[in-house]
Structure 1
């Protein structure tokens, strides 16, 4: 089969790759209908490997060496392994990205995204930027009444919903979203669907346009104006009650620290590779809460994402930048996203 295979930094090859074996017990095999490229994939491409186990076997998945990228996908079931219930050939499903053991103390507490043996499809084992892929049935959900073209946003939307849920945001809360890429724009869409107004901050005019279409009530172009001043002006001088930081760059965290209100909440979603200084004194004296958000909890966030996309399928169209073929993953996908030229999600149709 044809697949987009990660071999190292700036080295992703669309090549012939072995078909996945028949699904093992508890697995289903999907013919991939659509997959999309995540910012994490771009990060691995431009400066990795950070998460991909090229030389040493991953402790949970056991994989080492080149692997097929892709942890956001929609597929049709073409084979079912032993001990699988609830799925049959022909079903269209969305898998969650993270695989958890189900038995460790974090899994027993419902925090499967913190599983002691956690690994990610498309980062620690072959993923969905290919014609076929095997995934655990327990992390997969039928798309139900959700249109297949809309369901491609279910996994990243689940990430956004997990981030928003952890803030306790409600209508009337002053929320700012810093970084309006793939996840940031979906955070805006998730807030909009819940009746929560947002302030969006980015340096890209194209991404700001996507956030506007997603329902953002105030847009701040940080390349043209001081974002801290603009956020404080928009909130009567108090600052935002909640700031969701998805950019993963030091400037984003610095803006969040200066623009959050007393007693406010900063939620970190973006992965910060570079050192980021924190004003711990202000955190203490103004009782500012800082929390982090990792991926999603499959049982909770993925069904909610599919329900939201069923009710609001326009979220996908709003968040979409381009649909490309698998052969164009590097030039029209990874490289274009790395250059900041993509305004939303890039979807791949194998």
Structure 2
């Protein structure tokens, strides 16, 4: 079986003799058809991903077709098109027992803590397989990153007519914007790239945008909200400076949701935090209900995934293409690998 192995920092190898996965009880063998390339994959390749060890088969944004499966209660059969939930939770810790499987104490994420889907076939627990016959293979592969945004919006309890700010217009930030809009919120997008801000308006339907490099960001945000500031601010940058500054951009009584992850500490002003009675939230991964919500929305053709996916490569060409996707001038939003 063919697969791509990240052997060490900045080093991929195409392997042609990976062991075939064996069908075991409670699992299915999935023939991988699409692999979305995530920031996690870029960080792992460059050596910036926490909790990561080499060698590793990357890939956790996955869609494919069931090739082998036994009897199951989910109605899954050979030939079904599927999306995969890559978060392997323990089912025993307090978080899992309370239904928060997205932040399991002993989480194992495909492509990060254990080998992922950048190969021809993979064994996946049936509990982590979602039938996606109504979606395209591209859409099914994009369910996972969009579910992260949908989960953050659900955590925030944003409702219709609320004004929210989303900082960072990478794929995750764009997903937050799209699902905040779907929830009926007024969305303000912030980034340092004007082309990305234009995409926020055209694809995610952001109502207004702010360039984070402007000198009067706080004043502009105040003017846009009649002095109230947003009731929810989502930071999807993974940038410590941005995350620290975001405390000052939230309305009194509002919520700050950290969707991006930074490798290090974040400091903030306690008086600013307390005078707002601010609620600070972390948002990690997504649950089954978030995946179901995303699949339902995609099935309604609300989001144009053909614009979201800007680059693609065949499996045998991925190694050569990967380096170019890291370059800012390539203007990648989402790259997909076809198997």
Equivalent residues in 2 for 1:1-350 (5 A)? 1-54=1-54, 66-80=55-69, 86-212=75-201, 213-224=203-214, 226-298=216-288, 300-312=289-301, 314-333=303-322, 335-337=324-326, 339=328, 341-350=330-339
CA displacement at 1:49 relative to structure 2: 4.9
CA displacement at 1:238 relative to structure 2: 2.3
| Pair 1:6–1:80, CA change in 2 (3 A) | same
Q: Secondary structure at the match of 2:252?
A: strand
Q: Which has the higher contact order (CA 8 A, sep 6+)?
A: 1
How many residues were matched structurally? 338
| Pair 1:6–1:81, CA change in 2 (3 A) | farther
Contact (CA 8 Å) 1:9, 1:48: kept in 2 or not? no
CA displacement at 1:317 relative to structure 2: 2.3
CA displacement at 1:44 relative to structure 2: 1.6
Contact (CA 8 Å) 2:50, 2:263: kept in 1 or not? no
Q: Secondary structure at the match of 2:253?
A: strand
Q: Secondary structure at the match of 2:34?
A: strand
| Pair 1:214–1:117, CA change in 2 (3 A) | same
CA displacement at 1:313 relative to structure 2: 5.3
Contact (CA 8 Å) 1:25, 1:83: kept in 2 or not? no
5+ residue gaps in structure 2?
Answer: none
Root-mean-square deviation (Å): 2.1
5+ residue gaps in structure 1?
Answer: 55-65
| Pair 1:180–1:16, CA change in 2 (3 A) | same
Moved over 4 A (4+): 81-85
1:60 equivalent in structure 2: none
CA displacement at 1:244 relative to structure 2: 0.5
TM-score (normalised: structure 2): 0.92
Distance 1:289 1:134 in 2: 40
Q: Secondary structure at the match of 2:149?
A: helix
| Pair 1:106–1:223, CA change in 2 (3 A) | same
TM-score (normalised: structure 1): 0.89
| Pair 1:105–1:274, CA change in 2 (3 A) | closer
Distance 1:335 1:289 in 2: 40
